[in-house]
Structure 1
């Protein structure tokens, strides 16, 4: 059973990754750039250090990502309100529009994938995914 589950998770990850690459490439973005917009779109303005931690990258890597996103006018840096040493990153209006568009594509994909599953299976899937996310 565990081998079958392992292979199913890997297959799903590969298919989802391929879909994600295609969608992001059409927008002239890289996956890490889009993931940056997703995190900011979901959580709002964040300190650079917090954003790097959320993405699992170094602050140096994030600086390069934010530089590129800022040059495309998708994000902006702002001084932190209370900590002069910190810089916040937030979506611009253009970045927010792109995030919302991408989020809608994710929602459509999710609706299509789980639409054939009975409601109790959807609830079980949600519980399993939440548990796995906590364990990560």
Structure 2
């Protein structure tokens, strides 16, 4: 599994370098993915999701704001809260990243029966449960 993860990360990095988003790292790409397309998220929500300190997140967000992928929006109810939103460029990158993941999943599952896909999903859910359990300790 470690080899698979490392290989996917290498492929992802190579695809980024070939794209119009050469200025982004895989780490920044996953931060963009965590912010998401549809609703503004607070810095705390994103930090918790990625298991990052607020200081580390702030440094990374500063970079993404400077590169034009993310914007900060003060919360209208509580000015101490900062919401994060993807810019048009950030949304375009998000969609390209999602398409990459969809292609990857489709190519891996191609040829498997529905029963086998169900077993694969069960294994991956169990793995995610273990990861959540370990990371919440």
TM-score, length of structure 2 as denominator length: 0.84
1:103 — aligned with what? 98
1:54 — aligned with what? 49
Q: Does 1:13 align with 2:8?
A: no
Runs of at least 4 residues of structure 1 off by over 6 A?
A: none
Q: Does 1:121 align with 2:113?
A: no
Residues 59-88 of structure 1, C-alpha deviations (whole Å, 9 max, x = no match): 111111111111121110001132221101
- The structure where helix makes up a greater share of residues is 1
Q: Distance in 1 between matches of 2:130 and 2:93?
A: 30
2:17 — aligned with what? 25
Conserved in 1, the CA contact under 8 Å of 2:32 and 2:90? Answer: yes
2:135 — aligned with what? none
Shift of 1:22: 1.4
Q: Unpaired runs of 5+ in structure 2? A: 132-137
The number of residues matched between the two structures is 128
TM-score, length of structure 1 as denominator length: 0.85
Conserved in 2, the CA contact under 8 Å of 1:32 and 1:65? Answer: no
Conserved in 1, the CA contact under 8 Å of 2:72 and 2:84? Answer: yes
2:134 — aligned with what? none
Q: Distance in 2 between matches of 1:131 and 1:81?
A: 40
Classify the secondary structure of the residue corresponding to 2:84: strand
- RMSD across aligned positions (CA): 1.6
